[in-house]
Amino acid sequence: MNEKETLKYVKNYILDSLLSLYDNEIIKLNSLDLTKEISLTANKINKHGNFVDNYRDYLEIILKELLDKNFISLKFKLRNVNLSFFDKIILNVSKLNDILLEHPYNFKYKEIFSFKEDFANFLKDSNYKTSFVKKYLDVIASKLKNNESLTMLLLNKEMNVKNIKLTSNLFEFLYDLKNKDNFLPLRTLSQKIFNDSKFLENNISFFIRIFINFNDEGIKEVNEEEFYEYFNIYKNSKYVLIKNGLTLKIDKIKINLDKLSSPISLLKNQIETLKITKVSKYKLLTIENLTTFNYLSSLKEFNDFILIFLGGFHSNQINVLLRKIKKSNKVKEFYHFGDLDPFGLEIFVNLETKTGIKFIHYLMNEEIFRKYLKYSKELNEKDLKLLSKIKSEKEYQVFSKLILAMLETNKKLEQEVIMDEW
């Protein structure tokens, strides 16, 4: 460092140290009415090295500057010594506003105090009925009062009243669902509460931990599947789901899908041995996510399609089924509908590559992306890495405008949010 940079470093180090001590004392006291002296000794400064001796000449200059501005005062054991041979550097708390204008500092106490006020207002307005949620909120209030850590009680370890509200909403809804004996898809529930179809699944360990700590039945151990079962939630099926357009022969039994009002599920060994005896539709649509598959299969607009649930990257049994359908030469148009995100595009290309079938992307374009942009999410590091890889690859040029829109907005879109196209 040159001289200017070194002086800046020494000044920042001294002020940061003093302000950090002030911040910690305010948090400990839980009040701004501070009477304790905030001071630094040479021993405190040298705790992790020999800062004072290493920067003594620069300290002399910085301490004089801070004294002249009345930001600090100094105490000495010896008389007639240089400023850098101080006994104590004392923060002038009355000059805090002036110090912060010159030296901005992010006090933790402000975040904590603000959170306490926001949480108190949240409790006044909340109207939660279940004792489970009340226990959860009571424990948070108690920990706030005693200045204890909230890490285990907040989503993503953030201090955020919204996280508490969402968690309370979730469990209020779950207990209501449990008491009504209804069943709900996991991702539909997650979308309803968190506006993110995968949030509950991705943070399930947190919610299980909260449940174990506060449930009313003394349950102290539960795994993911047991948690879902307890609250009448079901996850995506591991079977291949299919609806419309085919007559199948399975184990000497013929099944005409056009006569069924709901999809059927097929196991791997059934797909390998089944025969397709008739194809009545000339269009086929594979769908990436189960929630969307269930929704589209309930709409009359899709009665002219063979509908197949893909479940992310297509499996070998999907490959076998699609090849058998293609072999009939009856289906003329193969479509795929997936997430408008980097991995959704990768699934599309993977589907074409593995099956050898030319697919048409369905609602996976820039126009749809921008139409539903308000429901989008930020691209993460993995998304950006994949986008940078595929944007120039030949197989992805059909999505070139969509990829540019993702990069321009730094957003991605899940297909579950596309709601008004039918």
Q: Give the global pTM.
A: 0.49
Q: What 3-state DSSP class applies to 185? A: strand
Distances (CA, A) of 121 to 105, 124, 126, 141, 377: 27, 5, 9, 12, 29
| Res 405: pLDDT | 96
At 205, list the tokens.
Answer: 């360990």
Q: How would you write 62-79 as a 3-class SS string?
A: HHHHHHHCCCEEEECCCC
Angle at 380 between CA 377 and CA 385, to 5 degrees: 130
For residue 337, give the nearest of 358, 366, 307, 367 by alpha carbon: 307
Domains and CATH numbers, the chain: 3-106 (no CATH), 109-234 (no CATH), 240-417 (3.40.1360.10)
Whole-number Å distance between alpha carbons of 18 and 71: 11
- For strands 333-337 and 283-287, give the pairing: parallel
Q: Give me the tens of pLDDT residue by residue for the chain, a chain 422 residues long.
A: 789 999 999 999 999 999 999 999 988 887 888 888 999 988 888 876 788 888 888 888 999 999 999 999 998 887 777 888 888 999 999 999 999 999 999 898 888 888 889 999 999 988 898 999 999 999 999 998 887 888 888 887 777 899 999 999 999 999 988 877 667 888 889 998 998 888 999 999 999 999 999 988 777 778 887 888 788 887 765 578 999 999 999 988 999 999 999 999 987 678 888 999 999 999 999 999 888 999 999 999 999 999 999 876 666 678 889 999 999 999 999 999 999 999 899 889 989 988 899 999 999 999 999 999 999 999 988 889 889 989 999 999 999 999 999 999 999 999 999 988 88
CA distances from 84 to 63, 80, 377 (A): 7, 12, 53
Q: Which of 285, 288, 292, 294 is nearest to 265 (CA)?
A: 294
Amino acid 152: pLDDT: 87
